[in-house]
Amino acid sequence: MESSLPTIKKYISTCIAEDDEPSFEGFIVKHARHIRAYIDRSQDPFSDLLCLFLCCAKSFGIKVRKGFAQRAWRKHTERKVLCHTEEEEEVEGEWPVGEDDVVELFNQKRKTIVEQKKRGGFITESCYLLLSFVLEVPLSTKNFVFGSKDHCLKMMRSELMPMTRKPQFQQDILVMFLNVKKAWEAKSSEEDEDEEDEDEEEDVDYQIYLMTKKAKKSKKKEEDALSRVLAVFLNKFRNWKKDYTAKPDFFLFCPFEGEDFGLLCVEVKKPGCTITQSLSDRSKLALEMKRSIDNQALLGVQTPKCFGLLVDGLVVTSFAAEINSHGIYTFLELEEFSLLREKSDLGILPDVVLCFCWNLVDEAAASIGKRRKTVSDEGCTPEKLLRATVALPVQKSNCE
């Protein structure tokens, strides 16, 4: 965030020259595009930028207001995407959490998102996940899709956390964790294996170019109209194709009756890398964990679960996902911890081990063979609760 210092100084200088009171909220609103360009380079961009803003204001010898900075941050800097329109569909039943009914909140929010999509608007990634019936349960309300319902979020987390109780120390946890690191190093040293896919995408681009060029030269209205329709179709085909190629970096698989499916999903981003894809690694992880749950349910697992690790530079966030009786997939953010950078960081190893939840994956793997022999009183089996996964976004928003 140090690269934002000149922009902050320029903003404060302009406010002083125009006899206007500078505020952090005003800076966010005015320079949202700049913030989004550097937001992925910090683990806590809001706090880091606020600290830098206050220090800069102090160097000018003036006092500044925060204003409604959190609200402005959510509105102007959250990653937003544009995707295909989904149909309205509701989940049934009640899920009382304190004074709120989560099912009712879920249906209302999803209906609003679908209506927004029909108008062709951009939506946040938390809303995008809701289209696939994935409810993100973050650590703070700053990223909560239902807004500033702090009490509701805390009660939801306390209700969902028992399924991820902390395990005791096991040596194989650390061994497997280090194996993931080795696998990533091996993967990064390999040659690019996606040349064929890139060639196919270039072929699609070239076909669109040829059709557009020919349509401009042609005087036949029918040929011009047909070429435009085919160009749109090829564009959509290219976007749909990406839905099948967007796989996680690593997956820990469990064999079952000749088939493998994932129980631990890992997404890795090297330190200092910026996101160029339409969907963040966090949202990709959520969708892949949902697909794993769908696969387990179709194989007859009574309580399908999936665990995930998001390695963002030197910080790792752990997740757990499951499907409840209403057909809502909960994507629960567990804990965040740092990777080792030098010998002095060895003191954090116990916390790293506790966060890894390896024995939970073992328990889930052991339950794969336990198929449901009897149907519950409501006649509801996991496979009946499954929902379709929405296609990947068409594009991401650069400015709002």
Across 85-94, 140-149, 171-180, the highest mean pLDDT is recorded for: 140-149
Q: Lowest-confidence range among 89-98, 115-124, 126-135, 163-172? A: 163-172
Q: What confidence score (pLDDT) does residue 135 get?
A: 92
Q: Any idea where the domains of the chain sit in the sequence?
A: 2-77, 81-161, 165-191+245-384, 195-244
Q: Name the pLDDT band for 183 (thresholds 50, 70, 90).
A: low
**Please, how many CA atoms are within 13 Å of residue 333, restricted to the half-sphere of its CB?**
19
Q: Name the pLDDT band for 376 (thresholds 50, 70, 90).
A: very low
Q: What confidence score (pLDDT) does residue 237 get?
A: 46
* pTM for the model: 0.57
The 3-state secondary structure of the chain, one letter per residue: CHHHHHHHHHHHHHHHHCCCCCEHHHHHHHCHHHHHHHHHHCCCHHHHHHHHHHHHHHHHCCCCECCCHHHHHHHHHCCEEECCCCCCCCCCCCCEECCEEHHHHHHHHHHHHHHHHHCCCCEEHHHHHHHCCEEEECCCHHHCCCCCCHHHHHHHHHHHHHHHCCCCCCHHHHHHHHHHHHHHHHHHHCCCCCHHHHHHHHHHHHHHHHHHHHHHHCCCHHHHHHHHHHHHHHHHHHHHHHHHHCCCCEEEEEEECCEEEEEEEEEEECCCCCCCCCCCHHHHHHHHHHHHHHHHHHCCECCCEEEEEEEECCEEEEEEEEECCCCCEEEEEEEEEECCCCHHHHHHHHHHHHHHCHHHHHHHHHCCCCECCCCCCCCCCHHHHCCCCCCCCCEECCCC
Report the length, in residues, of the chain.
Answer: 400
Closest CA to 106 of 131, 87, 85: 131
More confident residue, 143 or 168: 143
User: Residue 373: what residue type?
Assistant: K
Q: What confidence score (pLDDT) does residue 332 get?
A: 92
Q: What confidence score (pLDDT) does residue 235 get?
A: 53
Asked if the model's pLDDT at residue 9 lies above 50, the reply is yes
**Whole-number mean pLDDT of the chain?**
71
Q: Name the pLDDT band for 355 (thresholds 50, 70, 90).
A: low
What would the two tokens of residue 18 be?
Answer: 């125009």
Q: What confidence score (pLDDT) does residue 331 get?
A: 93
